[in-house]
Structure 1
Amino acid sequence: MLSRHLPGSFLCMAILSALHAAPAHAEVAIAPDPATLDRIQVIGSAARAREVSGAAQYIGSEALADFEYTDIQRVLRQAPGVYVVEEDGYGLRPNIGIRGSGIDRNSRITVMEDGVLIAPAAYAAPAAYYFPPAARMSAVEILKGAAAVRSGPRTTGGAINLISTPIPDANLGGYASLLLGQDDTVLGHAWLGGQQDNGFGFLIETVQQRSDGFKQLDGGGGTGYDLQDALVKLAYTHDTGEGPMQRVELRLGRNDQDADETYLGLSDADFRATPDRRYAASQLDHLDVEHTDVQLRHTIAFDDRIDLSTVLYRHDTTRAWYKLQDVTGAGLGTVLDDPAAFAEQYGWLTGGDSPDDALRIRNNNRSYDARGAQTALGLRIDGDRVSHQLQLSARYHEDEEDRFQQDDRYRMQDGRLVLTTPGLPGSQDNRVGSAEAWSYYLADEITIGRLTLAPGLRYEDIRLERVDYARTPDGRQQAPTGVTRTEVDQWIPGFGASWALADGWTLFGSVSRGFNPPGPGSDAAPERSRNHELGVRVDRGALSGEAVAFYNDYSNLVGTCTESTGGGCSIGQQFDGGEARVGGLEARLSWTANRDGAVRYPLRASYTWTDAEFRNSFGSDFEEWGDVTRGDALPYLPEQLLWLSAGAEGERWSTDLSASYVGEMREVAGQGAIPAGERVGSAVIVDLAASWRIAGRLELLGKVENLLDETYLAARRPNGARPGRPRTAFVGMRYRF
């Protein structure tokens, strides 16, 4: 297979050589700084986001610093067209969707860090059992419509690119923050780095977090988490003024998480009475995650016309989630939907004595690895009337998910779980899913006066394999019980255009193809859609904003059975939902009142209206869909989202208040009034933050998340009602130099 693609792997270098040898069409001015010329990055700045011929948003470091958020979902609430469903209350395992893509474990969107695919197995199993800590990010980019085609492979909704802390330009710089909060919560973040005159640069960064958790476990016990994250960057920049300018950067990262987290929720009655309760049957539930990341980047600017960026990467993730699976006679969700009908099983969940083997706990032991190479070539040509910014990129990527799991059986005795029948390793699941993909992207940004045209074309060639082994401890030593191979290839075109009007106004629009590849072993067709958007953007100093109408027309919407969607089907099984449509409006606005005064008043807002429905009828075992009738609304997709923020900033102090409104949503596809047991009601979450510079660059910080102590239902999936985090106060300090 590799030999078939070897010519493509040298395509960028071949074109580079030809272009470098050819005479220049015209002189151009590209900032000759290889540190900022990295084309693997997606947007790179707020200014560049305003030039994209499509919907794109750049949330910079200043906006992130306002609330010192450690939960990426709270950050993303300010982005229109982005939907999040909370799970653990801390955002460690977020569920993010874009423009109705579906939100389960971010598996329907492309997630990157510094332009590199960061999901544990982005093609084979893109579940978010690892997500980079939000505290470590200097910016967040959101791309939708045709702007998302360049990233791939998942383009039906969009892409999110997390930008890590860069090596500072100064000889030496640093930052440290420490916040202490309720539930013995500690949030620490620090980095130190600099760029030396001899060209060498470095960054050392760490995030340290812990909490006892806000839920109360029957009989006592932990419900919190510990997180340690470390990152090192080493760089060398060669810029003598003669010959090509080059930069090499090595990145080494490690993340460790331990969380006393569960999939077990509450019955509706128990949620109303004590929403932060956790049943005794979840006392052994625990998640361990280890993630390592290695990247080597090279950027070279041959002259003021041509540059090339390349990255080699590898990341490995292991996770073992030991958690309650079910009870004898019923699934957990079934029991909690109707505790009276399953009174015996409900009694066991809440600490009542049970027979032997009545409760099954699964050791969800999985390992992931991903590795690849990505390169992007840029060429800019400026003519008298027309200029071109060409980009050609290629990526080779392979990843793998390895499942080797067993079920242990317990009884409940005096409120404690007692092991009665241990399972044999590999007896529950023993399989490997893998993917190998080549992808190419060619784009041109053509500027003709005030008109910009942005055609782009992506090609994905993906080979998927699932290998099943006998479910025994030595199953890997025998021949596989089944091997399924699939090959998928797809052309993904996108076209955007923008027209710069007077006084900072811009009209833009785009059309593109949406694509999501199937998983290994799946007999479902790829997910495909036609995506359209039309918008207007304004940038007039203190005032900036964007309004977009979008319409995504699915020829085939795909659902994937996972434990986090509630199970009830074969894990990993995919379902063809056929035709569906998702349309809506997005708007965001930012204005700073008294911008040049002693006290400034930044005001920001974003709004999303969404209308989505199936366009055909069918039946499925997928819990979120069930039996679908044409016209049924899609689940977990609120019609209304609103985010408002108001602040005041003086020379030595600042205060910020934000409010998020999330409209009601249904948990199962349907029409008309939402049944009580399938309805997630609306919620308003208010956050408050303030800072005061004590002396020099030392600041005192304080913030309260969920200021009004709103009790709200985050979701009922996978198994029962799950609460949002209650009011939590923090106080601390930060220092930068």
Structure 2
Amino acid sequence: MNTNIFHKYLSVFIYLILSISFYCQDTIGYKINGAIFDPIDKVYIENATIILTENDQKIKSTNTYEDGKFNFKEIKSGNYKLHINHHDYENKFFPFKLKNSNKTLNISLQKSSFLLNTFEVIGNFKDDQKKLTGAGTKIEKQKIEKISPLGTQELLEYVPGINGFSDDGIGNSRISIGIRGLNPRRTSRVLVLEDGIPVQPALYIYSNMYYNPPVERIDHIEIIKGSSSIEFGPQTMGGVINYRTKRPREIFGGRVNINSGNNGYFSSLIEFGGFGNSKWRPEIQFIYKRGNGFRENNDFEQYNGTFKLSYIPNKKRKIYINLNANSETSNATYTGLTEYSFENNYRFNPKDNDMFYINRYSANVIQQIKINNSWESTTKGYFNYFKRDWWREYDVFTSASDYSDGNFSEIPLESTAGIDDLIRVGGGNSNFGILRTFSVAGIDHQYLWKHHINDTVFGKLKIGARFHFERFKDHAGNGDSPDARTGIYYRANNYETYAHSYFIREEFQVGNFLISPGIRFELFEQEMVNLLNNNRYDDAIIFEILPGIGFNYKLNKMNFYGGVHRGMTPPSNGTLLTLDFGNTSGTDFEAIKLKSETSIISEFGVRTLQKYYTLEATLFHLSIKDMIAAARGTQFTNLDNVTSSGLEIGANINFSSINSFLPDIFMSYTYLETVINNGILRYSALSDTIVPNVSGNELPYAPRHNLILGLSFDYKSKVFFMINHRYVSKCFSDFENIDFTYNRGDTGPIPAYWLLNSSVGFKLNNKFNITLSGKNLLNKKYIGSRLHSNPRQKGASSSSGIIPGMGRQVNIGLSLKF
């Protein structure tokens, strides 16, 4: 063939191939890959909404993944613009040109001009945590996913300074945690919030956590214990826990999470949203959980549904609405184990008729307004209705040998001492119901003023007020059979509380030094009507002033912080009844005034958040006064004060920042010393003829050492492995520090124990994850609590006995995003 002709045909062929190639590329299109990041905190931003437009017409949309990345496929050449939105950052428009090739973009966002933390107690950014004037911890979403918890108590036990003890059940719908040595029973001395709004049934009169949000709803958790907690109240002696949930998504999508394991455990979440427009963004979420528990007759079933709506009428105003409904039925009991039952069958629970019924409905509205460049305001309105009925069969003591024959007889309390196989079972004749209903409403309004005194002194002033109302109906009745659900009332008290709270807190920033003085005022009236005593009416008005001051000083890459503030716990219904609303003349409590428990909390610490390591170490000291009704059935007639001191350390060493094949090491440690100073109990558990002086004793459920040490490996966000060892040292279960046991199981210490936990996960792509988690892998048997911590109440139905800790639980979890 002629060479010129060959070259001619070859040229035509190459031209045709290139033309077809270009045509196909323009038809099939190009890829746009990108990442959204925060240049200040040097982190990538998850869940930013990316909308691709051409000539102001929407082409495609997506959200950033956990690593901040996003991508679009099959995009033709042309002039485009990205609309980037995230609720914590300023919106951004990013124009670019796509011409005959793929495009890679790295885009930074500026933090939102809204400065007033509305949903948070710490803040969303690293700088917020660095500048805290007290101890503060965040449990991030990534850690929650790795732990794959059954409930929030499991997560909170990873936080320095927090001690948790076992209660009945598997789903953590009722949690028992204490902070810095305070009694963990039902978390009654800790303020618990969800998106900055109170969760507890009745803050001022009955703060026991008989409802706890399902962990599946939680995005991350914040815990503060320093002087900044004076912004919140009233339960601020230990600290503040805030559950953060996700805001509604901006584009259509959702997720499905399923967890299942042994002990009949199953949990599912379905969530979808983004079907609104740029102003109205609704989202719906549904959770179903069930499980058989770690003991016999210990099953539960829970339904939880949430409707969220984000409304943004303009750039200076945001409104968020959250509606939630929760229903739970649990085969729950107070019947603890005797020493014999624990040693021979720690899963033993004969109480198949003990049932706990919960229904809760809530509505929250939050509005943010940016008044100008210096002023912002936030208004929160909240309401919840909570009903819990708990029916429990009356218990008796008997022997295991008689019980196994099916024809047992009751052993009287005074005859139990010599019975080696003593067990606690239902009597088979009658039961009782504790029937409680709560109605709570409130409105909270705050302002933030950003100002400066001169060119070197900058300030942020927060002022706020809250009106809070709660109604608590505490009724109880006796049923005529083990499974009765109605009965004859033996208690019917109705309580109401009207509370006004005000606070003002300033932050002055001078160079690297920040100082923050503040003060909170609590004025509340507590009323009670005794319906079974001719409608007797009692009331009390209490006023508390709670000042505080904190500081933070940045020195190189370290932040030193400290402060002192006054905390409080209002008189509970137990305290009000013990002191008869202050009518103590002629009683064991004569000359004792009705007032809140108060504390002075001081702390000093150091914090650094670096690429290769993070550290927060805090020395703390609590001095608590006026603790009268100190625990269930435990009363002080004279209590000078209680002190709790110690050291908290939270640390991470990030070897993976050096090489992705290396693991990270994490640690949470608490050293705790508690002392009762000049305390006299009303009754002794050991003898009816002595008045016990417990001065010098330790507080119950306050272990000297609490340690979690773990290792985590994460390879390119595709595979992770985590294992940790948890150790809790011995502690006492009562104020008399009784160090021996009776066969009933209601008396004695909580021995030291350790557990091994692990999890492994696989990320198949950006939308599908698999996680395998194991709790208490070695299936160690240990005493989780003696529940009521009141060995003076020795009767089978009055005492509780041993509650075993969590047994081995192995779950597999699947997560799908769409």
* TM-score relative to the length of structure 2: 0.76
In the alignment, is the contact (CA less than 8 A) between 2:738 and 2:748 conserved in 1? no
Q: CA deviation at 1:485?
A: 0.3
- Per-residue deviation, residues 660-695 of structure 1 (Å, max 9, x unmatched): 211111011246956674111111122111111234
**Structure 1 match to 2:441:** 371
**Of 303, 310, 315, which aligns to 2:372?**
303
- Alpha carbons of 1:194 and 1:146: their partners in 2 closer, same or farther (altered >3 Å)? same
* Aligned-partner Cα distance in 2 for 1:223–1:156: 33
- Per-residue deviation, residues 586-645 of structure 1 (Å, max 9, x unmatched): 111012112264435232111001100111031224979982321011111111100122
Q: CA deviation at 1:83?
A: 1.4
- 2:596 maps to 1:516: no
**Structure 2 match to 1:290:** 359
User: 1:209-248 residue pairs with structure 2 within 5 A?
Assistant: 209-216=289-296, 222-239=297-314, 245-248=316-319
Q: CA deviation at 1:151?
A: 0.9
- Alpha carbons of 1:628 and 1:72: their partners in 2 closer, same or farther (altered >3 Å)? farther
**Of 113, 116, 139, which aligns to 1:59?**
139
* Aligned-partner Cα distance in 1 for 2:220–2:363: 21
- Per-residue deviation, residues 406-465 of structure 1 (Å, max 9, x unmatched): 11244xxxxxx587xx9744x221111121100011001110001000111000001001
**Structure 2 match to 1:320:** 389
In the alignment, is the contact (CA less than 8 A) between 1:136 and 1:164 conserved in 2? yes
Q: CA deviation at 1:495?
A: 0.4
**Structure 2 match to 1:176:** 256
**Structure 2 match to 1:602:** 664
* Aligned-partner Cα distance in 2 for 1:101–1:632: 14
User: 1:430-509 residue pairs with structure 2 within 5 A?
Assistant: 430-470=492-532, 480=535, 482-502=536-556, 504-509=557-562
Counterpart code for 2:248: I
- Per-residue deviation, residues 160-207 of structure 1 (Å, max 9, x unmatched): 111122223x42342221111112211112322338652221221122
* Aligned-partner Cα distance in 2 for 1:254–1:58: 27
SS of residue in 2 equivalent to 1:579: strand
Counterpart code for 1:114: D
In the alignment, is the contact (CA less than 8 A) between 2:397 and 2:422 conserved in 1? no
- 2:658 maps to 1:588: no
**Of 379, 386, 390, which aligns to 2:457?**
386
Q: CA deviation at 1:321?
A: 0.5
- Alpha carbons of 1:224 and 1:729: their partners in 2 closer, same or farther (altered >3 Å)? same
SS of residue in 1 equivalent to 2:640: coil
- Higher-Rg structure is 2
**Structure 2 match to 1:642:** 707
**Structure 2 match to 1:557:** 627
- Per-residue deviation, residues 54-101 of structure 1 (Å, max 9, x unmatched): 111111111111122132111011111111111025222111111122
**Of 589, 597, 609, which aligns to 1:527?**
597
**Of 756, 764, 774, which aligns to 1:686?**
756
Q: CA deviation at 1:126?
A: 0.8
User: 1:397-436 residue pairs with structure 2 within 5 A?
Assistant: 397-410=468-481, 424-425=487-488, 427-436=489-498
**Of 49, 53, 56, which aligns to 2:129?**
49
- Per-residue deviation, residues 517-542 of structure 1 (Å, max 9, x unmatched): 11353434321121110111112223
- Alpha carbons of 1:195 and 1:614: their partners in 2 closer, same or farther (altered >3 Å)? farther
* Aligned-partner Cα distance in 2 for 1:387–1:180: 52
- Alpha carbons of 1:87 and 1:672: their partners in 2 closer, same or farther (altered >3 Å)? closer
Counterpart code for 2:722: D
Counterpart code for 2:492: N
SS of residue in 2 equivalent to 1:627: coil
- 2:788 maps to 1:715: no
User: 1:591-670 residue pairs with structure 2 within 5 A?
Assistant: 591-595=653-657, 597-599=659-661, 601-621=663-683, 627-651=692-716, 652-670=718-736
SS of residue in 1 equivalent to 2:678: coil
SS of residue in 2 equivalent to 1:615: strand
- 2:209 maps to 1:128: yes
Percent identity over paired residues: 21
Stretch moving more, 320-329 or 448-457: 320-329
Q: CA deviation at 1:338?
A: 8.4
How many residues in Structure 1 have an aligned counterpart in Structure 2?
Answer: 660
In the alignment, is the contact (CA less than 8 A) between 2:322 and 2:364 conserved in 1? yes
- 2:342 maps to 1:271: yes
**Structure 2 match to 1:340:** 416
- Per-residue deviation, residues 195-224 of structure 1 (Å, max 9, x unmatched): 8652221221122110122312xxxxx421
**Of 217, 220, 231, which aligns to 1:150?**
231
* Aligned-partner Cα distance in 2 for 1:152–1:125: 14
- Alpha carbons of 1:485 and 1:435: their partners in 2 closer, same or farther (altered >3 Å)? same
* Aligned-partner Cα distance in 2 for 1:99–1:446: 29
SS of residue in 2 equivalent to 1:63: helix
* Aligned-partner Cα distance in 2 for 1:624–1:511: 39
**Structure 2 match to 1:262:** 333
In the alignment, is the contact (CA less than 8 A) between 1:703 and 1:730 conserved in 2? yes
- Per-residue deviation, residues 338-390 of structure 1 (Å, max 9, x unmatched): 8733869967x447xx7xxx754211111111100011111111441011011
Instruction: Give unpaired runs (5+ residues) of structure 1.
Output: 1-28, 217-221, 411-416, 472-478
User: 1:696-711 residue pairs with structure 2 within 5 A?
Assistant: 696-711=766-781
SS of residue in 1 equivalent to 2:340: helix
* Aligned-partner Cα distance in 2 for 1:674–1:470: 41
**Structure 2 match to 1:19:** none
Counterpart code for 1:108: R
SS of residue in 1 equivalent to 2:274: strand
Counterpart code for 2:546: I
- 2:103 maps to 1:103: no
- Per-residue deviation, residues 443-495 of structure 1 (Å, max 9, x unmatched): 01110001000111000001001110127xxxxxxx51x21100111110010
Counterpart code for 1:534: F
* Aligned-partner Cα distance in 2 for 1:284–1:549: 47
SS of residue in 2 equivalent to 1:513: strand
* Aligned-partner Cα distance in 2 for 1:517–1:110: 12
**Of 270, 280, 305, which aligns to 1:190?**
270
Counterpart code for 1:658: N
* Aligned-partner Cα distance in 2 for 1:336–1:180: 44
* Aligned-partner Cα distance in 2 for 1:505–1:335: 64
Q: Root-mean-square deviation (CA), in Å?
A: 2.8
User: 1:530-549 residue pairs with structure 2 within 5 A?
Assistant: 530-549=600-619
* Aligned-partner Cα distance in 2 for 1:253–1:409: 36
SS of residue in 2 equivalent to 1:678: coil
Counterpart code for 2:449: L
Q: CA deviation at 1:255?
A: 0.8
- Alpha carbons of 1:53 and 1:423: their partners in 2 closer, same or farther (altered >3 Å)? closer
Stretch moving more, 303-312 or 334-343: 334-343
Counterpart code for 1:303: N
